[in-house]
Amino acid sequence: MSSQNSLKKRWLYLAAGVFAMLFSGVLYAWSILKVPFKEDFGFSESVLSLNFTLTMCFFCLGAFFGSLICKKIGVKITLILAGLLVGAGFVATGMLNADSASWLLYITYAVLAGTGIGISYNVVVSTVCSWFPDRKGFCSGCLMMGFGISTLLMGNAISILFENPAFGVSKTYILIGAVIAAVLILAGIILRKPSAEDNLPSPKAGKNVKKEAFESRDFTTAEMLKSFTFWRAFACMAFITAVGNSVISFARDLAISVEATEALAVTLVGVLSVCNGLGRILTGALYDALGRRTTMISANILTIVAAGITLVAVHLGSLPICVIGLCLTGLSYGSCPTLTSAFTSSFYGQKYFSVNYSLTNFNLIVAAFIAKFANTLLAQYGGYTAPFMMLLILAVLALGLNFSVKKP
């Protein structure tokens, strides 16, 4: 196939990938999606916090198994399977009521929906990024932006539907499931991996990138896991991600704690989502222009500043400062998935990227359990000061690890 046709095709695949990620990202709207279970069904905050933690665990497991399944049955069937899992998960969640046991929520939302979205996430990212060897950061950023701004575009709509007597909780969840399933199935029909006939541009570093001294080859998964560099980067990204993960799990309640109205709190969750999306695409652009090291350290410093400002906001009870903190947290959190994708590809190659990337993404499980602990501190101390002090310490520790990430 001519180079011109390949270049045209890859932009279609990127658009399809962003569209699929846009709907899959509703998983991060948990601070809005959980409201009926807390206020109408009487589920405890501990149950809802654990559900988010389990969701992130099964999201990562889904991404790992998705990478293996895709090799066996291809992109199309794997994404169709993912769509059916997500659809079944949300529809089943919509059938729960005040008499339902909490473990049913874990199975329907965390296991089914979380696994399905994890599968689709990995397949979409690895498939679309394989078409952009010359613009890894940009491609990752666009895909992650779609995933990140989903809460803004869908969060307010979900909140309105919850309050609409014609829909309510049950029909809203069923509608979400049906729409996401349809989108993922459509993505499965459109997307495919590049073939030997597709002429794609070769990777090239930006003018201002300081070259890092590491081998330019494909590392197997076993070789990657034996690399001390991998584990330092893994811990670093887990600590950075934990800050945003924790804030996402209680963003609405955090805003209300500093005197935001209910409507404003929901809007601020959307603002957090916008900044999350912007952080993803800006990080991708910076990665292509400035390289891995500068971008990762800059994102880490931003995370420290975000946690510090939000800590000041909750200490003073200041809504304006809290808004700034949420925006910066969104930007810093948005950098994490883009860096994870671009880092794995740049350091360990494209040949085994799908499986390697899914394992690097397991840092989200560590971050999810840290977020769970942050919620435990919140319940124990009755305020947000203790959780944010812990998150600030972790962000500083991450910076120390960040400086040590060099040669794989």
Confidence of residue 355 (pLDDT cuts 50, 70, 90): confident
Residue type, 337: P
Residues 289, 367, 50: CA angle, nearest 5 degrees: 145
**Beta strand segments in 271-393, E:** none
Q: How far apart are CA 20 and CA 147, in angstroms?
A: 8
What do you get for the CA distance between the two ends of the chain, in Å? 35
DSSP secondary structure letters along 206-274 = -TTPPPP----SPPPHHHHHH-HHHHHHHHHHHHHHHHHHHHHHHHHHHHHHTT--HHHHHHHHHHHHH
Q: How many residues make up the chain in this entry?
A: 408
Closest CA to 198 of 127, 287, 139, 136: 127
Confidence of residue 37 (pLDDT cuts 50, 70, 90): confident
Q: How far apart are CA 93 and CA 374, in angstroms?
A: 26
User: 170-192, pLDDT tens digit by residue?
Assistant: 899 999 999 999 999 999 999 98
More confident residue, 206 or 179: 179
Q: Is the pLDDT of residue 140 over 80?
A: no
Rounded to two decimals, the pTM is 0.76
3-state secondary structure of 84: helix
Q: Is the pLDDT of residue 347 over 90?
A: no
Q: How far apart are CA 300 and CA 307, in angstroms?
A: 11
Would you state the structure tokens that stand for residue 31, as one six-digit string? 């601070």
Q: Where along the chain do its domains lie?
A: 3-193+219-404
Q: How far apart are CA 196 and CA 119, in angstroms?
A: 25
Confidence of residue 205 (pLDDT cuts 50, 70, 90): low
pLDDT of residue 4: 61
Q: Is the pLDDT of residue 209 over 60?
A: no
More confident residue, 242 or 407: 242
Q: How far apart are CA 365 and CA 374, in angstroms?
A: 14
Contact 368, 247 (CB under 8 A): no
User: 358-380, pLDDT tens digit by residue?
Assistant: 889 889 889 988 988 998 898 88
Confidence of residue 202 (pLDDT cuts 50, 70, 90): low
More confident residue, 389 or 63: 389
Q: How many percent of the chain have pLDDT more than 90?
A: 38
Contact 233, 43 (CB under 8 A): no
pLDDT of residue 384: 92
Confidence of residue 345 (pLDDT cuts 50, 70, 90): confident
Give the architecture (CATH level 2) of 3-193+219-404.
Answer: Up-down Bundle (1.20)
For residue 351, what is the DSSP state?
T
